[in-house]
Amino acid sequence: MPMPPLPVRFEGDPEPLRIDLHMHSTASDGALSPARAVALGASRGLTHMALTDHDTLDGVAEAASAARREGLVLMPGAELSTQWRGMGIHVVGLLPEGVRGELVEGLGALAVAREKRAATIASRMERVGLHDALARAREQAGSERPLGRPDFARALVAAGLVPDVATAFRKHLGAGKPGDVKALWPAMAEAVRWILAAGGVAVLAHPVRYSLTRRKRGLLLDDFAAAGGQAAELVSGFQNPDVTRDLSRQLQERGLYASLGSDFHFPGGHLAPGSMSPVPRTATPPVWTHPRLAPRLNAGA
Ligand code: AMP
Ligand code: MN
Ligand code: MN
Ligand code: MN
């Protein structure tokens, strides 16, 4: 079946775009296997997607074969955990050439950091009453994949210490709380360097979700661009159109490309693959027109 090409500009078309460049699977904290996540995307009419699990490309091979079966284009990717000025910042690497060069060691370092961090989070959660925190988080993960804060959040809920995951983050795991352990993550600029060295495009993930003032978000974008980062997520899931317009100006001022994605984790919530707010008309170029991505994302399946 011929695939409609992706638009080369954002014209403010209210029709949803058939591309989603930020999604998770069971390779990190998503609920669906890579194959099922891809199949769901295809059933929702997506033609192009990136799998961007936290700090790993372990799901990409499975996603790629599912994409071949479903007839859609899959971009290999990962969402790297980094820090900038003491804050946890996520950088999506879109990696048409896969994992090469320094990124090999970088992902290794991230895996080690995530494992050590889980032990630190566990001891902090024990202080708030979660006994055997590491084992309980592992039980929630239900597999050997690297642990993340959502596993501790669900363990806190299962132990009856908080009513729901949102409260677990608000009280114990969210930004500035004891379970928010960032010290082991690489500097943002370093992660950007790994992505660039692998022939990829570094995308600042969900810049409007860090609770920054506009000015501080500008500084983050300045540093990200100065480090060689090429793009930022202009739209991440559902967001206010005024916020999107404001952010698009900040991207344009810095010559950054615009990416977009649902940040899908699990079905049944308000997000699915491809669900996100429409992109308003803007001069900021779509990230799929970047020379490193265009050959792969415009080529069709
Ligand atoms: P980690 O990768 O271990 O730092 O965990 C971060 C992940 O936790 C994010 O990617 C989200 O999937 C999830 N998360 C972060 N904040 C919240 C929240 N307030 N409620 C639910 N899940 C959250
Ligand atoms: Mn996540
Ligand atoms: Mn993120
Ligand atoms: Mn994500």
Per-residue pLDDT reduced to its tens digit, 122-135: 999 999 999 999 99
State residue 16's pLDDT score.
87
169 lines ligand 1 (CB under 6 A): yes
State residue 80's pLDDT score.
98
288 lines ligand 1 (CB under 6 A): no
**Pairwise CA distance, residues 188 & 213, whole Å:** 19
User: pLDDT at residue 299 above 70?
Assistant: no
User: pLDDT at residue 168 above 70?
Assistant: yes
Residue among 169, 170, 185, 266 whose CB has most ligand 1 atoms within 8 A, to mutate: 169
48 lines ligand 1 (CB under 6 A): no
State residue 286's pLDDT score.
97
State residue 216's pLDDT score.
98
Tell me, what DSSP letter sits at residue 170? I
Residue among 29, 114, 172 whose CB has most ligand 1 atoms within 8 A, to mutate: 29
Q: Grade residue 300 by pLDDT with cuts at 50, 70 and 90.
A: very low
DSSP H helices in 18-170: 34-43, 60-70, 102-127, 133-141, 149-158, 165-168
Q: ∠ at Cα 95 (89, 182), nearest 5°? A: 20
54 lines ligand 1 (CB under 6 A): yes
Tell me, what DSSP letter sits at residue 106? H
Q: How many other C-beta atoms can be found within 10 angstroms of the C-beta atom of residue 300?
A: 14
Q: Where do the domains of the chain lie?
A: 19-109+188-297, 111-173
Ligand nearest to the CA of 169: 1
Output the residue whose Cα is nearest ligand 1's atom 22.
150
Higher per-residue pLDDT: 179 or 298: 179
CATH assignment, 111-173: 1.10.150.650
174 lines ligand 1 (CB under 6 A): yes
163 alpha carbon, distance to own chain's centre: 27
Q: Grade residue 266 by pLDDT with cuts at 50, 70 and 90.
A: very high
Q: Grade residue 1 by pLDDT with cuts at 50, 70 and 90.
A: low
Crossing angle for the helix pair 133-141 and 149-158, nearest 10 degrees?
100
Q: What percentage of the chain's residues is helix, strand, coil (to nearest 5)?
A: 40, 15, 45
Burial status of residue 176 (CB atoms within 10 A of its CB: 0-12, 13-18, 19 or more): exposed
Q: Which three-class secondary structure state does DSSP give residue 162?
A: coil
Q: Grade residue 2 by pLDDT with cuts at 50, 70 and 90.
A: low
State residue 298's pLDDT score.
77
> Is it true that domain 19-109+188-297 has CATH number 3.40.630.30?
no
200 lines ligand 1 (CB under 6 A): no
Q: What's the whole-model pTM score? A: 0.97
User: pLDDT at residue 143 above 70?
Assistant: yes
pLDDT digits (tens, 9 = 90+) for 196-249: 999 999 999 999 999 999 999 999 999 999 999 999 999 999 999 999 999 999
For residue 9 the two structure tokens come to 């500009």
- Residue 188's H or E segment, with its range, is helix 188-197
Residue 109 contacts by C-beta under 8 Å, 6 or more apart in sequence? 186
**Pairwise CA distance, residues 110 & 105, whole Å:** 9
Contacts 24+ apart (CB under 8 A), 5-8: 5/298, 6/47, 6/48, 6/286, 6/288, 6/297, 6/298, 7/286, 8/285, 8/286, 8/289
Dist. CA 215 → ligand 2 center (Å): 26
Average pLDDT for the chain: 96
- Residue 234's H or E segment, with its range, is strand 231-236
